Structure 1
Amino acid sequence: MYEDRERLAAAWESELEVFRAARPRSADQWQRAIEHLPDGVPMLWMAKWPGPWPVYVESAGGAHFTCVDGIDHVDLCLGDTGAMCGHAPEASVAAIEAQARRGSTFMLPTEDAAATAELLSARFPLPVWQFSLSATDANRSLIRYARQSTGRRKIAVHDFSYHGTVDEAYATLDADGAVVSRRGNIGAPVPLDETTAVVQFNDIDGLDAVLRTREIAALLIEPALTNIGIVLPDPGYHDAVRELCTRYGTILIIDETHTFSAGAGGLTRELGLEPDALVLGKSIGGGIPAAAWGMTREFSNAVRESLDLEDIDVGGVGGTLAGNALSLAGMRATLERVLTESAFGNMIARSTEWTVGVQKTIDEFDVPWQVTQLGARAEYSFRPTPPRDGREAADADDFELQQYLHLHALNRGILITPFHNMALMCPVTSPADVERHTEAFREAVVSLYG
C-alpha cells in the first residue's frame, strides 16, 4: 500500500485540473447525457473511468482514438480485448460491411459458419464449435451442457477469476474458507454455496478436495488469472488440473477470452492444454459482438444425445441472434486476416517492450511493484513479487492509487483499462506508442516516489 496519502491526494487534484481544462467538449457531452443516462454513461461500470466525467470518443483506427476534444490517444485498453485486433481493422470491416448489405441475421447458417469453425479447430484442439454473442453467453451455455451431461449440479471456479456476468462465477472464499458472494455482486439470485465451489489458483490439493466430492459438473477456469492482475500457473499445475478432472468425471472448461493474448492458439496451444470445452469472446469479432465455444466430440455427442429436438430451442441455450451472419463474417475475416500468427508476433514484441519499460522504472526508483507479461498483455501490480493466486493479487490492490495512475496516463493521451493496470497490444501498436507509455509511467512514478 502506498503510504504517503497526502502526496497522492495532492497529485490527484492536480491531475483533475489538467483533465478539466483539456476536455470541455467531453464535459458538454456528459452534461447532455446525464439527463437520460445514469452517470451519463450507457453502462454504469463506465463511470469507473477516472476523472469528473468520461472521455467521449470521436473516432478510432488501429491503436489510436481521438476524443471529441481533438486529443489523440494511444489505446492500450482496446476495449478490454474487444478491440484486440485494433480499431476498425480493414479486413474485418470490409467483411462486416459486405455481409450487412446482404442481410445480418436469418436464424439460418451461412458459409461463414463452417469456415469459422474450421479456422478455430485448426488453432485449438477441439473439433466441434458453436457461436454466441458474448463469452458470458458461451460460458452459461457450457455450464448448462455440463450439468445436462453429468447430472451434477455444482460448478467450480478459481477465486477471483472472471467469466463475464455468469452468476455462478461471482463467488469467493471468506476468511474461514467458506464460499460466499463476492463484494459488489449485484442482486445475487441464490447463495453462491448452493451452485459453486471455489478453489485458489495453483492449489492442487484444494482442487482435489473439491472435485473428489463428485458434485462438480464443470471446472470453469481461466488458464491464467487476468482480471485481478495477471497470475500465471505454476509448472505442472495444468497437468494436475486435467488429471483431476478426468479422475473425477468433471468437465474442464477453459475460458480464453482474455488469455487469447498469449498467441494465435491462446494459452491452450502455448501450454499444450487439453480442455473438454473452450471459450473465446470479444476479440474474434473484429469489433462487433461475437463469441465461440468449442467442445471435444465426446462431450458434444453426450450433450446432443441428451437433448430432444422438440425442446432444443427452449432449453436455455442460445438466442435468436446467436450465430448470426454478421458476427460470423466478422469472426471469419478476423481469424483469417487480422489476428494471424505474424500479427501476434508483433503484438507480443510490443508487450515485451512495454514490460521492460515498466520494469526499468520500477528498478530505477526501487518501487515495491512488479510487472507480469502474458503474450500481448502485461500488467503491473502494487506488490514486490508476482502473486500466485487471486487472493494475493486482491490483497495488493489500491483503488485510489490505481485511479491516479490511470488519470495521469489519460492526461498524457494514454488509455489503459479502468480495471487494474493492464496494457494490451494490437497488431499495429508501434514502438513509439509503447515508448509514450514508458515515458508517462516514469513521470507518474517520479510524482509519487521522486
Structure 2
Amino acid sequence: MRDHPRSAELAARAGHSLLAGVPMPWMTRWPGAFPVFFDHASGARLTDVDGREYADLCLGDTGAMTGHALPAVTAAVEERARAGITAMLPSPDAVWVGEELGKRFGLPRWQMAMSATDANRFVLRFARHLTGRPRIAVMDWCYHGTVDETLAVLDGDRVVPRPGALGPQVDVAETTAVVPFNDVDALDRRLAAGDVACLLMEPALTNIGIVLPDEGYLAAVREVTRRHGVLLVIDETHTLCAGPGGCTAAWGLEPDLVVVGKPIGGGIPVAAYGMTAEVADRLLKPMLEAEVDVSGVGGTLTGNALAMAAVRATLSTALRAEDFAVAVPLAERFTDGVAGVIARHGLPWHVQRLGCRAEYWFCPPPRNGAEAAAAVDEELEGFFHLWALNRGILLTPFHNMALFSPHHTAADVDRHTEVFAAAVEELLA
C-alpha cells in the first residue's frame, strides 16, 4: 500500500460498485491485497496509476502480444471512428482481412467474431449442424474461453464440470467428451462411439501451462478424426505465439476449422474463424437463408468496421515473420536464463517454451492437462508473481507465463532472470 497508494484508493472505491472490486473476474487473480490499476502502456512498458513502470511480460495474456499502443492501429482506429464505427454492412477492410488470414493459415474461407469464445461457440454449432452428432470433444484441462461445453474435465472415466465453473446450464457429460492430451488411443476409443461432431483443441495446451505435443501426436490426431468422421478444430488464440500462422502453419497441420482471437486486433476486441473450402461449401446454404439472423451465429457488432480496420492495421505491421524473428529469440533467452537458475540450485522444476511464449513449472514437464493441474502450487506462484511485480516485472497472474514482443529487449529478459534468481535464493535461504 505504501508503494501503490493510488491503486489502493481505487481498489477501495471499486469494492463498492464493482463485483469483487474489478470489472472482469480474473482480475482478482493478481497477487497482493488489491490489484494494481494501470494508467498507460506503450510497446513493452506499462505504467500504473502511481507512476511505477513495469517491463510487461503479460501483454494482456496475449491480447497485446503485438505490444501496446501500436501507432498504425491507433491511427486506423481513430480514422475509422471518425468515419463511423459499425453498420450492418461490410467494409473494404474485411476483404483484405479475409485474404490475409487465408494466406497465413492456409484456409480459404473466414468469418469474424467479437471474441475467440464467440468464435468457438459458432464453430461448435456448425460442427453439430454438419455432422448431425450431439457431442463435442475437448482435451482434459483445456481452455477455450467461456464456452459452456468446454468447461469439462475427467474424474476417472467420468466427465464432470471443471473446478470453478459456475452454474453449468446442462450436465457437461451430456454435451462433451473429454480425452487426455497426448493419448491417441484414448481419443480413438472415444471417437469410435460415433456421437462426436468435432474435436476442439489447442495444438499445445496453454491455459494449464504449456504442455507440448509428443512427436507425431498431432498427425495421429488428424488421422483418427478423419477416420471417425469428426471435424478437427484448432484453437490458435494463444498458440499464435508460434508464428504468423500459429502452429497450423509452423507445424503443417491440416484442420477443418481454425479459431484465432485476441492479438489480431492489436487490443481491439475481435476474433476470426477459418475453414476449408469443403466445410464452407456445406455451410453456404444456411448462411444464405432468411433465418440466419437467429441461427445462434453472429451478433450486431460482429465484423464491425472498427474491428476490421484494427485487424488490417495490426496484421499489416505486426505478427509478421520479421516480428517473430525478434520475439522468439527473446523467449529463448528467457528460457535459458530461468533454466540456468533452476539447474544451479538443483531444483526439480522446468521451463517450457512455445514460440515467443515461455513459462516455468514447479515440477518436471507434464505430458497432459491432469498432470499439469496436479502440479499447480498457488502459494508458490503467488510468491513469484508478487516478488516480480514489486521489482518492475509484470507476469501473467497464473502459470508463470511470459510473452515477448518485438518491443522487448535483452535487458528486460536479463532483469527477469535476475529477479527470478533472487526469489529462488530467498526461498532457499
Is 1:360 the counterpart of 2:340? The answer is yes
Is 1:271 the counterpart of 2:251? The answer is yes
> TM-score, normalised on structure 2?
0.99
Partner SS, residue 312 of structure 1: helix
Which runs of 5 or more structure 1 residues have no equivalent in the other structure? 1-19
CA displacement at 1:306 relative to structure 2: 4.2
Residue type of the partner of 1:440? Answer: V
* 2:223 paired residue among 236, 240, 243: 243
Partner SS, residue 206 of structure 1: helix
CA offsets 1:155-210 (integer angstroms, 9 cap, x no match): 00000111000000001000x21111111111111111100000000100000011
Asked whether the 8 Å contact 2:136–2:177 carries over to 1, the reply is yes
* 2:5 paired residue among 24, 30, 35: 24
CA displacement at 1:39 relative to structure 2: 2.5
Residue type of the partner of 1:400? Answer: E
Partner SS, residue 28 of structure 1: helix
Output the CA distance in 2 between the equivalents of 1:89 and 1:108. 27
Output the CA distance in 1 between the equivalents of 2:291 and 2:331. 47
Is 1:93 the counterpart of 2:100? The answer is no
Is 1:138 the counterpart of 2:119? The answer is yes
Residue type of the partner of 1:124? Answer: F
Asked whether the 8 Å contact 1:131–1:291 carries over to 2, the reply is yes
The answer for the alignment partner of 1:302 in structure 2 is: 282
Asked whether the 8 Å contact 1:92–1:286 carries over to 2, the reply is yes
The answer for the alignment partner of 2:366 in structure 1 is: 387
Is 1:112 the counterpart of 2:88? The answer is no
The answer for the alignment partner of 1:48 in structure 2 is: 29
Output the CA distance in 2 between the equivalents of 1:21 and 1:367. 34
* 1:218 paired residue among 188, 193, 198: 198
Is 1:227 the counterpart of 2:193? The answer is no
CA displacement at 1:371 relative to structure 2: 0.5
CA displacement at 1:95 relative to structure 2: 1.1
Is 1:69 the counterpart of 2:50? The answer is yes
Name which of structure 1's ranges 35-44 and 399-408 shifts more when overlaid on structure 2.
Answer: 35-44
Partner SS, residue 121 of structure 2: helix
Output the CA distance in 2 between the equivalents of 1:72 and 1:282. 24
Output the CA distance in 2 between the equivalents of 1:299 and 1:308. 15
Asked whether the 8 Å contact 1:262–1:375 carries over to 2, the reply is yes
Output the CA distance in 1 between the equivalents of 2:61 and 2:263. 9
Asked whether the 8 Å contact 2:5–2:50 carries over to 1, the reply is yes
Partner SS, residue 293 of structure 2: coil
The answer for the alignment partner of 2:18 in structure 1 is: 37
> TM-score, normalised on structure 1?
0.94
Residue type of the partner of 1:58? Answer: D
The answer for the alignment partner of 2:323 in structure 1 is: 343
Residue type of the partner of 1:233? Answer: P
CA displacement at 1:125 relative to structure 2: 1.5
Output the CA distance in 1 between the equivalents of 2:196 and 2:283. 17
Indicate the percent of aligned positions where both proteins have the same amino acid.
Answer: 55
Residue type of the partner of 2:242? Answer: A
Q: Give the CA RMSD over aligned residues.
A: 0.9
The answer for the alignment partner of 1:332 in structure 2 is: 312
Asked whether the 8 Å contact 2:72–2:317 carries over to 1, the reply is yes
Asked whether the 8 Å contact 2:43–2:67 carries over to 1, the reply is yes
Asked whether the 8 Å contact 1:200–1:390 carries over to 2, the reply is yes
* 2:350 paired residue among 359, 370, 373: 370
Output the CA distance in 1 between the equivalents of 2:357 and 2:157. 31
Which runs of 5 or more structure 2 residues have no equivalent in the other structure? none
Is 1:127 the counterpart of 2:97? The answer is no
